[in-house]
Structure 1
Amino acid sequence: MSANSSVLLTVVGRNFDGLDVDAIATQRGLTRTNINDLGSNVAEVLEAVGEIGGQLFVGSGNQVLDAKSAAALGVPMVVSYDRPGPHVDIYVAESERSGTVVAEACDAERTPAAVAAAQDIEVKPYMSPSVFKHGLAEQARTTGAHIVLPEGEDDRILEAAHEVLESGIARLTILGDPDDIRARAEEKGLDISGADIINHETSELREEFAADFAELRKHKGVTLEQARETMQDISYFATMMVHKGLADGMVSGAAHTTAHTIKPSFQIIKTVPEASVVSSIFLMVMRGRLWAFGDCAVNPNPTAEQLGEIAVVSARTAARFGIDPRVAVLSYSTGASGAGPDVERAVQAVAKARELDGELLVDGPLQFDAAVDKGVAAKKMPDSEVAGQATVFIFPDLEAGNIGYKTAQRTGAALAVGPILQGLNKPVNDLSRGATVADIANTIAVTAIQAGKK
């Protein structure tokens, strides 16, 4: 939309806390009509806007604009005025799915800039934790994936299962004693009737799984009797369900260590042919941006070659979740400004990543500010296609990665979704033992999406 477009500025019938809407309209050459002049009924307002030929609608994010009606009536662009909050985030997501582009949700001080920007530049999609979680659930629903949850003894798993089933995010199998699980769910008012519940200790599948596991591990000297004993472990039993196609993915770790969760995957599901390591990313969701951080959960001290591989795999995983990957290999140095083994490792990692994927936009070594700030990038790496606009960040080791994502999570109000494991033939994802019910539900949705992306 150009600045010369004939635009109707329609304002919600509330005070704008000192904002001079008439001045904005005059400055931009707009015709200003107050919503109170059009009527109080939402349908009437939208019809009036459409009849007048309005192209820009400035309004409150939670009640005025019905997204589908707006799109149908020719109101293709919105600047939403309201206090920040989940209600605005959900509204924005619904609007954009209906074909109504939302410039941004803003307060009174930012509205003038938003109005100008909406006319003069291409509007970017809105992002926030609420919008991301809403979209994640919708994407997961389309896969029809079946996820196994081995830790049925944990009440958080049952609460998350209730939410997932209620939302239709995935089909579920929960491992544990059926009578105990159903009794605890009923006591908490949870409906998990849509889940299959299997007691792995008495299941008829145990003998079949033991025979298959003994065959898979015979080169390691595993006997059938040893395999039977191994199948008493919930992680091994659940992983065999994924391996055999009885489930599309597994989520575990709320009550067990990372090693306990993913070790069976190395032995049973194994890595894809092009992967030498299993690694992870966190999706870091913040207001206005969606980033990926890797590897923050698996590899303590990756080599340069492994870092390069992690960069490529992380970019592919990030793309599945709507991120346009521009990969920064992070360091304490930018370009040739520093020297030393760690800097050289970043240089070699970039070379390895480009060798593996010649079309990938990847650069480094980059300091974090040079990776995200265009002003800094213009001074330090002016010719880089990544510097100043990175979306995927590869940390040099597990220590730096773990500190980095938790800093953003705890001080930057970022929603950290993950760790999302990558490099396995089938999706298995690990939970933190401090995971909340929301974390578990998000991880189930992520796993469903991975399972649906063959």
Structure 2
Amino acid sequence: MNLLEQIKENAKKYNKRIVLPEGTEERTLKAADILIGEGIAQIILIGNPAEIKALAEKFDLKNIGKATIIDPANHEKKEAYADLLVELRKSKGMTKEQAMKLVLDPLYLATLMIKSGDADGEVAGAKNATGDVLRPALQIVKTLPGMSVVSGAFLLLTNKPEYGENGLIVCADCAVLPNPTAEELAQIAVATAGTARAIAKIEPRVAMLSFSTKGSAKNELVDKVVKATELAKQMAPDVMIDGEMQADAALVASVGASKAPGSPVAGKANVLIFPSLEVGNISYKLVQRIAGIEAVGPVLQGMAAPINDLSRGCSVSDIVNLVAITVNQAAAK
């Protein structure tokens, strides 16, 4: 059983409620049909019920009738959600009139459902930009205590068991924060260790990557990673974190022993933290395209509840996988 199969099997045990705000989008509906049929999650679809029913018939989807369907224009908690939004955003001048308009927006409605305890997680982005998905999430659900940043992790599934955790590597940030400070980089490291535990069920060994290993180069970019490493160790003393180190020192046992002798992480890292978004994004795309490594994600981390963003070019299976991951995050929370 591969990792994705394990994630789906784990999800079936938890029976979590995942809201899909793009409830009339074709791939989303097809994924919802599979998710319900396989028992991976309880599915909540946001959209016009008549339109969802017609689309289900058009696509010959047999399980959509078992989903909970929320009509943003007409549902019993509309007023209560608007009141909650006013309370959460009153310092920003939110009025009841503005809130009543925003609860018609499926992305705002989904996050209000999570905040109210009516859903356990959300997956969106098949037809909405990342900024539109994250905006209500950051305004309503917000970040975890001690976290000020949201980042995006990828699970790299290689066919090289000598690397990472039997071929699995978790890496970040590849999706959200362009140029993190040392403090933000430390938070990303701790959050990614949590993702490794929650989703991959592995004990993280975190390498803070740079173009230097243990002082082999001097530069302010290296200094940032050195500082981030110390901060991350303070934030999570129960996690194996080390750096700064080059990628080969992190992943290859012989190189790690040579460049960073005595390190608890060098040569056996299963979590890689990139120093900037450009490094992370370029790196995962290169190994995905050139080496044929399967890259699953991005998995958003740092939020107080699991809210994940899809690529607008996603497939039905991408949605199914990300919902299963979101269920595992919700269960770990």
**TM-score (structure 1 length as normaliser):** 0.70
Rounded to whole Å, the distance in 1 between the matches of 2:328 and 2:267 is 29
Amino acid at match of 2:192: S
Rounded to whole Å, the distance in 2 between the matches of 1:410 and 1:323 is 26
Aligned 8 A contact 1:291 1:323 in 2: no
The residue that corresponds to 2:176 in the other structure is 298
The residue that corresponds to 1:43 in the other structure is none
Count residues with an aligned counterpart. Answer: 325
SS state of the match for residue 214, structure 2? coil
- Say whether 1:145 aligns with 2:40: no
Amino acid at match of 2:8: A
Rounded to whole Å, the distance in 2 between the matches of 1:194 and 1:180 is 16
Following superposition of structure 1 onto structure 2, how do residues 58-77 of structure 1 map, counting pairs within 5 Å? Answer: none
Give CA-to-partner distance per residue, 1:89-127, whole Å, 9 cap, x none. xxxx3xxxxxxxxxxxxxxxxxxxxxxxxxxxxxxxxxx
Displacement after TM superposition at 1:132 (Å): 1.3
The residue that corresponds to 2:126 in the other structure is 254
Aligned 8 A contact 2:169 2:270 in 1: yes
The residue that corresponds to 2:164 in the other structure is none
The residue that corresponds to 1:319 in the other structure is 197
Following superposition of structure 1 onto structure 2, how do residues 412-451 of structure 1 map, counting pairs within 5 Å? Answer: 412-451=291-330
Rounded to whole Å, the distance in 2 between the matches of 1:250 and 1:377 is 39
Aligned 8 A contact 2:24 2:55 in 1: no
Rounded to whole Å, the distance in 1 between the matches of 2:172 and 2:80 is 37
The residue that corresponds to 1:282 in the other structure is 154
Rounded to whole Å, the distance in 2 between the matches of 1:213 and 1:166 is 34
The residue that corresponds to 2:51 in the other structure is 180
Rounded to whole Å, the distance in 2 between the matches of 1:307 and 1:279 is 10
The residue that corresponds to 2:261 in the other structure is 382
> Higher relative contact order at CA 8 Å, sep ≥6: structure 1 or structure 2?
2
The residue that corresponds to 1:161 in the other structure is 32
Displacement after TM superposition at 1:178 (Å): 1.3
Displacement after TM superposition at 1:313 (Å): 1.6
Rounded to whole Å, the distance in 2 between the matches of 1:198 and 1:355 is 44
Rounded to whole Å, the distance in 1 between the matches of 2:137 and 2:171 is 22
Give CA-to-partner distance per residue, 1:69-93, whole Å, 9 cap, x none. xxxxxxxxxxxxxxxxxxxxxxxx3
Rounded to whole Å, the distance in 1 between the matches of 2:233 and 2:203 is 17
Aligned 8 A contact 1:326 1:386 in 2: yes
Unaligned runs of 5+ in 1: 1-92, 94-130
The residue that corresponds to 1:411 in the other structure is 290
The residue that corresponds to 1:108 in the other structure is none
Rounded to whole Å, the distance in 2 between the matches of 1:253 and 1:184 is 19
Rounded to whole Å, the distance in 1 between the matches of 2:201 and 2:237 is 21
Displacement after TM superposition at 1:429 (Å): 0.7
Give CA-to-partner distance per residue, 1:203-252, whole Å, 9 cap, x none. 23222211110111111111100111111211001110111111111100
- Say whether 1:391 aligns with 2:307: no
Displacement after TM superposition at 1:391 (Å): 0.4
Rounded to whole Å, the distance in 2 between the matches of 1:436 and 1:413 is 18
Amino acid at match of 1:175: I
Runs of 4+ residues deviating >6 angstroms: none
Aligned 8 A contact 1:290 1:323 in 2: no
Aligned 8 A contact 2:149 2:184 in 1: yes
Displacement after TM superposition at 1:334 (Å): 1.4
Rounded to whole Å, the distance in 2 between the matches of 1:330 and 1:164 is 37
Displacement after TM superposition at 1:257 (Å): 0.8
The residue that corresponds to 2:236 in the other structure is 357
Aligned 8 A contact 1:327 1:361 in 2: yes
Give CA-to-partner distance per residue, 1:392-451, whole Å, 9 cap, x none. 000111111111111222222222222112222211111111111111101100111111
Amino acid at match of 1:415: E
Percent identity of the aligned residues? 45
Give CA-to-partner distance per residue, 1:347-405, whole Å, 9 cap, x none. 00111011112232111111111111112112211221111111000011111111111
Rounded to whole Å, the distance in 2 between the matches of 1:317 and 1:230 is 31
Aligned 8 A contact 1:279 1:298 in 2: yes
Rounded to whole Å, the distance in 2 between the matches of 1:375 and 1:423 is 34
- Say whether 1:366 aligns with 2:245: yes
Aligned 8 A contact 2:155 2:295 in 1: yes
Give CA-to-partner distance per residue, 1:279-309, whole Å, 9 cap, x none. 2211112223111111111111100111112
Give CA-to-partner distance per residue, 1:152-195, whole Å, 9 cap, x none. 12100011111111110000011111111121122212121211
Rounded to whole Å, the distance in 2 between the matches of 1:254 and 1:187 is 20
Rounded to whole Å, the distance in 2 between the matches of 1:220 and 1:187 is 44
Unaligned runs of 5+ in 2: 162-166
Rounded to whole Å, the distance in 2 between the matches of 1:147 and 1:276 is 24
Aligned 8 A contact 1:250 1:428 in 2: yes
Displacement after TM superposition at 1:151 (Å): 0.4
Aligned 8 A contact 1:151 1:254 in 2: yes
Amino acid at match of 2:21: P
Aligned 8 A contact 1:147 1:250 in 2: yes
SS state of the match for residue 217, structure 1? helix
Displacement after TM superposition at 1:198 (Å): 1.6
Rounded to whole Å, the distance in 2 between the matches of 1:137 and 1:411 is 28
Greater radius of gyration (CA): 1
**TM-score (structure 2 length as normaliser):** 0.95
Q: 1:402 aligns with which of 281, 295, 320?
A: 281
